[in-house]
Structure 1
């Protein structure tokens, strides 16, 4: 049989925030590549619906409800995955919230940091020993285009996502000697339910597409394909990187 560098057969993955949007697309793509996938969400009903849909499509997918700000729930997610599938090879930390636009309210700041950064620190600490034991694992942290540029509207979110990118670099250095790769993805404007209000704003879209060399909005599949790449042997010598999936928005001045 020919070597397939994108094959994930025999691998087990956890994807957080995976009942809709990018997270669900990532879970589906990893499963299509052959991985066993544990999806998670704090919404039990959405979790059951997503897991059932993926299983009906023939994928080996299970779900565990998890509030990522709850340390005990994170431990249950990791241990439940290892118990069900026999190990852990891939972790995709996707769960996140935007917070209040333009706000410096410290309560909102704390919530955003707890979900978007602190939870990833806690989850990776629990998962990485299991991933290292697999012998060739991959961790993918969801950052954002907001981490690469100044932003006056989503202050705490941008700060947290910049922290996520630095966390990927730190973990890559710490866990590289144990054959674990850690990278971050920085999506730009992606067509999801969360971005629908922006996409409905004609003036915003005119400016954004002018600043995007590919002149289109990204798709969930664009991000999911990058996750498959980073989870697979195809990216075997890539670690500690933040890869922008933004159609080039981050590299142009819009001219």
Structure 2
């Protein structure tokens, strides 16, 4: 990753932080955006709250050329359908979809200029499998998949690749309530064919690969990194 300029939105914790650590070790020049500067990461940081400010107003320190953009912010709104409100759907859509579109729009010129860039978005296994209590986040993440595929088609003539990674349950701060005690962690392990839930490093590893030249013939894909949950019984 030497010589590559990469922006990670949401690099202060979870998958984004694990990715920033991996890319820093590989020599990438990092730019980060989010509410908090990621600790221990050498980056040009731009303060941005996805729900408050257009990315174009916040991304004032981007380089002229970007080789990669990764949008990590997400949400886990798990409620029975009858308890979900229109505001729940709006919030999930705003964080997952509008935020991603805003970030890509703000970086669009720098990404196209590289003529070899990679954009990585995040979906969820729940967009593929019907999972109760997930309707709001499933709607939002399904839209992320649509965004990835549409942009992949539109940007292919510029040799810009766009893919989405679809994890299952991963041990991040966002999922703390789902892994709050030993019983919940053991139940989460048993739901996966590989008998464990994911780590941030599992998911970050795939995102990092999609940013490399080794993945230069991969675009328009939704790649499950889910311990087999999305495909195996």
1:181-200 alignment, distance < 5 Å: 181-200=161-180
TM-score w.r.t. length of structure 1: 0.84
Distance 2:33 2:79 in 1: 26
Q: CA RMSD in A?
A: 1.9
Q: 2:10 aligns with which of 17, 20, 34?
A: 17
Q: Which residue of 1 aligns with 2:56?
A: 75
Matches within 5 A, 1:230-241: 230-241=210-221
Q: Does residue 245 in structure 1 map to residue 232 in structure 2?
A: no
Instruction: Give 1:5's aligned residue.
Output: none
Could you say which residue in structure 2 is the equivalent of 1:111? Answer: 91
Q: Is the 8 A contact 1:17 1:96 kept in 2?
A: no
Partner of 2:130: 150
Partner of 1:88: 66
C-alpha contact 1:101 1:153 (8 A) present in aligned 2: yes
> How far did residue 23 of structure 1 move?
1.2
Q: Is the 8 A contact 1:169 1:183 kept in 2?
A: yes
Gaps of 5+ in 2: none
Aligned CA distance change for structure 1 residues 182 and 71 (closer, same or farther; 3 Å): same
- Structure with more helix by fraction: 1
Residue 39 of structure 1 deviates from its aligned partner by 1.6
Query: Paired residue for 1:66?
Result: 48
The residue number in structure 2 matching 1:131 is: 111
- What's the offset of the Cα at 1:247? 0.9
CA contact (8 A) 1:141 1:168 kept: yes
TM-score, normalised to structure 2's length?
A: 0.91
Tell me by how many angstroms 1:154 deviates: 2.6
Deviations 1:196-232 (CA, angstroms, capped at 9, x unpaired): 3322355654554334221112111111111110000
Task: Say which is worse superposed, 120-129 or 108-117, in terms of deviation.
Answer: 120-129
In structure 1, the gaps of 5 or more residues are: 1-7, 56-60
1:23-80 C-alpha deviation (Å, 9 max, x unpaired): 11111212222211112222xxx32xx25x123xxxxx121110123453x0144342
C-alpha separation in 2, matches of 1:77 and 1:220: 26
Quote the offset at 1:234 in angstroms: 0.9
SS class of match (2:218): coil
Q: Is the 8 A contact 2:112 2:160 kept in 1?
A: yes
Write out per-residue CA displacement over residues 59-102 of structure 1, whole angstroms, 9 at most, x where no aligned residue. Answer: xx121110123453x014434222xxx42111001112223533
Total equivalences in the alignment: 231
